[in-house]
Amino acid sequence: MNYGFFRVAAASLKLKVADPMYNKEEIKKAIDIALKEDARLLVTPELSITGYTCADLFFTKALQNAADDALDDIIEYTNGKNIAVIVGAPYRSKNKLLNCAYTIYNGEVCLITPKTNIANYNEFYEKRWFVSGENAEEFSNKYGSHIDSKIEICDGVTIGIELCEDLWVPNPPSSQLALNGANIIVNLSASDEYVSKAEYRRDLVANQSARCISGYVYASASVHESTTDLVFSGATLVAENGAILAEGERFQRETVITFADIDVEKLNILRQKNMSFENTSEYYYDLEMLKNESNDLKYRFVDPHPFVPDDDKKRRERCKEIFAIQASGLAKRIEHVGSKGVVVGISGGLDSTLALLVCVEAMKMLGKSNGDILGITMPGFGTTDRTHNNAIKLMEALGVTAKEISIKDACIQHLKDIEHDESVKDITYENTQARERTQILFDMANKHGKLLVGTGDLSELAMGWCTYNGDHMSMYGVNASVPKTLVRYLVEYVANVSDEKTAEILFDVLDTPVSPELLPPDENGEIAQKTEDNIGPYELHDFFLYHFIRFGFEKEKLSVLALKAFDGKYDKDTINHWIEVFFKRFFISQFKRSCIPDSPKVGSVSLSPRGDWRMPSDASYNAFV
């Protein structure tokens, strides 16, 4: 299966200006290379058959005829080959020249796309040779092909075509092409180089792919164009919904072919969610024979940690912004309800640590003292010395009002009241502790006129790893949109800007295994109940969560993506096991998410029942596993 992936190739060609016979051979070589790599679409630069810089030679019959002959040869060469090829060449019609893109498949020209916006400023003088294709339907063509800018080339894949300057104008044709159904935009370009233009061009391609929720395949003229006044670099780019998937080296002397696997299924799902996209016109041509066969994702990077930027600088910027969103949301709620401060339960673990740090920042925003934060640590049957000491030391270091309330006696009494044997350490034993802690926190919040801040994170809500009406409940949940894989980086971000004493405590918290600490420690006093031993690696579950919520991917595709992302770390059987655990826990836990407290959304994935994720609590998961 190809799982919705479509392999594309963008080529910048070694060519000779005004030598179509030479250039066609280079195009044929590129076709062979693309086929060898199982690409289904090859895009070449603007006027790739003649070269872009022929100037007044475009008016000569010799060049025009040679271009026609070269094009015919390429058309014949594609016969029987499972690839769509787009080349650039001039076309004569009614004593006018058009700058066109020719879409070729299996020995036919399926579509001719004339350039609409003719560059005629600064170094460009295209109107001297070419007319706009704005009224292209008036022109005839010898191939009997449709004159248009879009074509469905296989099931689920529709390409829209624009040429160079079309992208740079205020209203690019690709915008309307996307609205009309094109999910991959290609651009045959001849973009010269000057200082800073490459970065601008890269941003332009990425941003247009985001605006259009599309793939974008960009191929530009190479260094072999004329250097009389300009230098071309051979830029090749492939973008997908705002992200650059692949980029070729510029200024190369040989042909450069840049490959990427575009996830068309993901794009189509995103468009289903976006009501701005509506298919309003028919496709003029359908390449029914082009097959999008199995895809090995050779040219696709799959991020194992989609919530966490890999680049240190970007990660710090992301953490800074998320931390500000969390604190600002809490500050607004404190201000609105007229609270004297906040109450937060401190366990010495990651989530409660992050919540406490957010509370400190909110107090700073409101001009309040950290003493207005009432931090309560509540040791129970599973509390270890390490987490208990870190909780105490962190509250002292931050200057919050600290209180310790043991829950052991209250839980023992409660277990007696409900006639539960204390030696039976089952879910009743565990949840008794979680609910006792929550009762204390709510009552202390009422007693002191403060707002109870929740500590649970997005990953726990997804997996249902919280006690209903226990740690599941609060008055405002600052971490509810933060996945577990990102929590530690937020704490690390604060640690890196904290004083030495606070930082030391935070780094020890970061080194502590994730645990609810509801079961007694081991014989060495260490944490015995480790969350990931029970429900699986959070990095896998966060990976599944991201791709399922954002794109609705099925189990098989999640497995393929995870195998690529975690290459060598987890085998297929392990991944498939945890996918099933993820779906089962996610579905049976919706009732918990249906009544979670208010919380700020911080990223593209949120499980708020009032916003991003609305799901029946009794939906079956059978179709998903």
Catalytic residue list contains 393: no
- Residue bearing tokens 């190479």: 222
**Quick one: tokens of 285?**
């041509």
Rounded CA-CA distance 356/350 in Å is 10
The single-letter DSSP state of residue 514 is: P
Give one DSSP letter per residue of 262-289, joined into a string: EEHHHHHHHHHH-TT----S--S-B-TT
First to last CA, the chain: 18
H-only helix segments in 308-375: 312-337, 350-366
3-state helix, strand, coil in the chain (%, to 5): 40, 15, 40
- Considering the candidates 26, 46, 165, 247, report the single residue annotated as catalytic: 46
Contact partners, residue 400, CB within 8 Å, separation at least 6: 356, 359, 360, 370, 371, 373, 374, 375
For every residue of 224-235, DSSP letters joined together read TS--SS--B---
Which long-range contacts (C-beta less than 8 Å, at least 24 apart) are formed by 118-123?
A: 118/165, 119/164, 119/165, 119/168, 123/192, 123/229, 123/230
Distances (CA, A) of 56 to 32, 165, 239, 355, 566: 32, 20, 34, 69, 55
CA separation for the pair 381, 454 (Å, rounded): 22
CB 225 within 8 A of CB 52: yes
Judge contact between 562 and 588, C-beta under 8 A.
no
- The phi, psi pair for 189, rounded to 5°, reads -130, 160
Contact 354, 479 (CB under 8 A): yes
Contact call for residues 160 and 277 (beta carbons, < 8 A) = no
Reduced to 3 states (helix: H, G, I; strand: E, B; else coil), residue 192 is: strand
Residue labelled with tokens 């002397």: 253
Q: How far apart are CA 541 and CA 303, in angstroms?
A: 14
| Selected catalytic residue, list 54, 100, 154, 164 | 164
Q: How far apart, in whole angstroms, are the C-alpha atoms of residue 89 and residue 137? A: 18
Dig out the tokens for 361 from the structure: 């920042």
517 assigned to active site = no
Spatial CA neighbour of 173 closest among 184, 183, 155, 185? 185
Please tell me the distance from the alpha carbon of residue 589 to that of residue 315, in angstroms, as a whole number: 30
**Candidate list 14, 24, 115, 592, residue with the active-site label:** 115
Whole-angstrom Cα distance, residue 458 to residue 68?
Answer: 60
Pair of tokens at residue 73: 């040869």
- Catalytic residue check, 46: yes
DSSP secondary structure code for residue 253 in this structure:
S
What's at 367, amino acid-wise? G
DSSP letters spanning 452-479: EEE---HHHHHHT-S-TTTTT--SEETT
Measure the CA–CA gap between 456 and 355, rounded to whole angstroms. 9
User: Which residue numbers are catalytic?
Assistant: 46, 115, 164
